[in-house]
Amino acid sequence: MIKKGSQIVCESLLREGCNVVFGIPGGAILPLYQALPEYPELRHILTRHEQGASLAADGYARVTGKPGVAFATSGPGATNLVTGIACAQMDSVPLVIVTGQVNSWTIGSDAFQETDITGITLPITKHNFLVMDASEIASSIKEAFYIANSGRPGPVLVDIPRDVFVQEVEYEEPGELNLPGYSPNVSGHSGQIRKAANLINEAEKPVIVAGHGVIISKAYDELKELAEKAQIPVITTLLGISCFPEDHVLWTGWPGMHGMAYASFAIEEADLIIALGMRFDDRITGNPSKFALNSKKIHIDVDPSEIGKNIRVDVPIVGDVKEVLTRMNTHVGAATHPAWLKKIDVLKEDHPSLDIPETSKLLARQVVRDISDETKGGATIVTGVGQHQMWAAQHYRFKKPCTFLTSGGSGTMGYEVPAAMGAQVADPDSIVWSIAGDGGFQMTLCELATIAENRLPVKFAILNNGFLGMVRQWQEIFFDSSYVSTGYTGNPDFVRLAEAYGIKGIKVTDKTQVKTAIAEAMDHDGPVLVDFIVEQEENVYPMIPSGMTVYDMIEEPISEKVTN
Amino acid sequence: MKSSEKHTITALVEDRAGVLNRISSMFRRRGYNISSLAVGKSESAGLSRMTFVVDGDAKTVEMVVKNLHKLVEVIKVSDISEENAVSRELALIRVKCDVATRSEIMQIVDIFRAKIVDVSQDTLIVEVTGNEDKVNSLVDLLDSFGVFEVMRTGTVAMSRGASFEQDKSMNSPRILENAS
Ligand SMILES: Cc1ncc(C[n+]2csc(CCOP(=O)(O)OP(=O)(O)O)c2C)c(N)n1
Ligand SMILES: [Mg+2]
């Protein structure tokens, strides 16, 4: 059957199970948009900025486990996507991005709105394609989906010139994948798996450090089985948060720069680290040459290039976490480790990292704790980047898997609005709270229009400290409180801003109003923005300065704890 | 092993627009140093073979191999530096010469089993094939006569005997050992 390139794109997307696209049209991609009415099953959500489209696709992908899809036109449309693509690449999030390109015969001539987007995204995509003939669209999109969501997931960009969208070709279903250089190894080496199990059976002070890979491979049950069977404390990474229920006795927090002190010390004191789908990021290791020198390390990851990259490991296993754990668990014997678990309890008592000081002030941490209580730990939490992100990660008690969405690797401020939108589209019945910074929120707040238009009931909690708070904290600690360019004195009235978009707004200035405001937001059948005017100079503790070790940790000063 | 040395890596890659760009972008982004790179068609249609000479310690080279493997268009990668391998480079060297020095240069060229491929009034072009060290020594020797220009292809290499490049399966025990 003869079809246009644009129709082939739509049919290919549908065949891959895609039914939601985020994007904005423009000249080069217009023929694709004009085909959309023929495909009502393909829902298009018109964002207000392409960064909103790529970050919404990211939020959508993290919740569904399917690739998030975004469209943008050539030139500035495509470059606006870049921040979201880089974010997805760093956090292993599957995206398939379709960009329009200038007509094929003008490529290279600096034509109007021409940008070499495959060149620009080369280092921030898992792979990309420039499709120069409509007969290659179907196979390229099939390959794009496969690459995006197999092995270690990541973003794949497909750039299509305008004339290729209108080109008519004999349309055939794509055949077998032809990717001779791409065959991710998911099964894991049996000998290595046995070796790992032996180390676990011999260990006296083991800890599990569970990363994003556990969530990506949905290895929740296998993780729990391992932890419970051998009584191993479970620490997660920032992106691993929610992969293990935080009301479980073996849950031991998350480590690193702003993680719980006891988690960092547990890693330091352990004799065996079982690292699952994580990458020993510098936010966790600090100085890698002084990191966890007392332990052997088992590292299970689907990406071989992560193994041995930052930290020397004793037993590397390349494979999918779920598959490897399923097989490894059968070789792991039951154990109890009473002395070690007791030691962990002592660490928790000695370093009560999550106590919130008694005060009449409105602390940001308290807001997070109250949202956690009001939602019983069952909401999907989406954050921006900064202090509020760390407090959300520390003080929300996650009980459901895959409910914490944050830009960990890239640290993308502005993630809090579009990713929350994408998460709500992915699961319309879930309760989505965006815990936002007053800074980051303003980077992407134009998406409030998209949220209102699509009646997405996202609840926003702006932890409004009138500062680029995390940077201000660094200035306070490392630059003698010289607050250069971090005060946000020109913030808008966020309540009136929300109302301008037809969104309910609530302002909270006093500690006593927090719980009722949260309840009111939850009762409201639609999006709500709550502007929490919090303490301006609250700091995130504990803190391990960049490149240092757990022994350089700064815990919350007593003087701050007792101020009223 | 911390010492920095030269390692030879070969890769079989799809012969498509942008592949070289992808590979060089990866080297640049990750800060790996390529001291020479040679590309050409392979025995299979649509596939090219590349030889990289990389400066770095064992860990760096291991990461280079892994990151090459990770590229979708790279089909096979082998680190052949520790193997029994043949490596060759071709160089063209333009040397200053006059009646007084010509025969001495010709003797040196003979010893190196090199060839003179062009002669003009006061220069010669010498063609030499050999491993990198051999080419370096010839260039050094000729330098005393005045070398105007050196053009080198970069090293190409192949392991001796019947051993083939290992495939992409990263669970081969050797790679796993390298990782630890
Ligand atoms: C796009 C982007 N620009 C700059 C930064 C650097 N940065 C990290 S945290 C931060 C402050 C964030 O302020 P806000 O959103 O108000 O959150 P807070 O720390 O106050 O909770 C900045 C500027 C970043 N991470 N992302
Ligand atoms: Mg702020």
Nearest to A305 among B66, B75, B169 (CB): B66
Phi and psi at A225, nearest 5°, equal: -60, -45
Query: Distance (Å, rounded) from C-alpha A518 to C-alpha A459?
Result: 9
**What total of structural domains would you count in chain A?**
3
pLDDT band of residue B3 (cuts 50, 70, 90) is low
Q: Which tokens hold the place of A400?
A: 């459901």
Which pairing describes strands B85-96 and B5-14: parallel, antiparallel, or unpaired?
unpaired
Q: Which long-range contacts (CB under 8 A, 24 or more apart) does A336-340 make?
A: A336/A231, A337/A204, A337/A205, A337/A206, A337/A230, A337/A231, A337/A232, A339/A204, A340/A204, A340/A205, A340/A206, A340/A233
pLDDT at A558: 67
Q: Do B21 and A309 touch (CB under 8 A)?
A: no
A95 bridge partner residues: A68, A155
- pTM beyond 0.90: the answer is yes
A254 and A113 in a single domain? The answer is no
Q: Averaged over A169-174, what is the pLDDT?
A: 93
pLDDT at A561: 52
Q: Averaged over A48-55, what is the pLDDT?
A: 98
Q: In what order do the strands lie in the sheet with B74-79?
A: B33-41, B47-56, B5-14, B74-79
pLDDT at B178 over 70: no
- Which A residues, 142 through 181, put their C-beta within 8 Å of a C-beta on chain B? 147, 179-181
- Hey, CA dihedral for A288, A291, A293, A295, is it positive or negative? negative
pLDDT at B7: 93
Residue A220 CB less than 6 A away from ligand 1:
no
Query: Distance (Å, rounded) from C-alpha A122 to C-alpha B23?
Result: 10
Q: Do A308 and B62 touch (CB under 8 A)?
A: yes
Average pLDDT, rounded, for chain A: 96
Q: Report pLDDT digits (tens) over A417-471.
A: 999 999 999 999 999 999 999 999 999 999 999 999 999 999 999 999 999 999 9
Nearest to A307 among B71, B173, B179 (CB): B179
- The minimum-distance atom of ligand 1 relative to the CA of A412 is 26
pLDDT at B172: 43
DSSP code of residue A552:
G
Query: Distance (Å, rounded) from C-alpha A198 to C-alpha A203?
Result: 9
Phi and psi at A370, nearest 5°, equal: -70, -40
pLDDT at A371: 98
A35 and A165 in a single domain? The answer is yes
Q: Do B176 and A130 touch (CB under 8 A)?
A: no
Output the domain CATH number for residue B68: 3.30.70.260
Q: In what order do the strands lie in the sheet with A95-101?
A: A43-46, A20-23, A68-72, A95-101, A155-161, A127-130
B9 and B70 in a single domain? The answer is yes
Residue A389: CB atoms within 10 A of its CB come to 30
Query: Distance (Å, rounded) from C-alpha B88 to C-alpha B77?
Result: 19
Q: Report pLDDT digits (tens) over B35-87.
A: 999 999 999 999 999 999 999 999 999 999 999 999 999 999 999 987 789 99
Q: Tell me how far CA of residue A509 lies from CA of A517, A521, B40, in angstroms.
A: 11, 16, 69
What percent of chain A is predicted at pLDDT more than 70?
99
pLDDT band of residue B17 (cuts 50, 70, 90) is confident
Structural domain of A463: 364-540
Peptide bond into A180 cis (omega under 30): no
Q: Residue B47: in which H helix or E strand, if any?
A: strand B47-56
Query: Distance (Å, rounded) from C-alpha B116 to C-alpha B105?
Result: 10
Hey, is A562 helix, strand or coil? helix
Instruction: Confirm whether A131 is domain-assigned.
Output: yes
Structural domain of B27: 5-83+162-179
Residues with CB under 5 A from ligand 2 (ion): A 437-439, 465, 467, 469
Output the domain CATH number for residue B122: 3.30.70.1150
pLDDT at B1 over 50: no
> What's the complex ipTM?
0.88
**Of A290, A324, A350, which residue is a domain's last?**
A350
A212 and A116 in a single domain? The answer is no
Q: Which tokens hold the place of A420?
A: 């929350």
Show residues of chain A in contact with B14, CB under 8 Å: 180-181
Show residues of chain B in contact with A307, CB under 8 Å: 66, 179
Output the domain CATH number for residue A210: 3.40.50.1220
A495 and A401 in a single domain? The answer is yes
Asked whether A166 and A31 are in contact (CB, 8 A), the reply is yes
- The minimum-distance atom of ligand 1 relative to the CA of A414 is 1
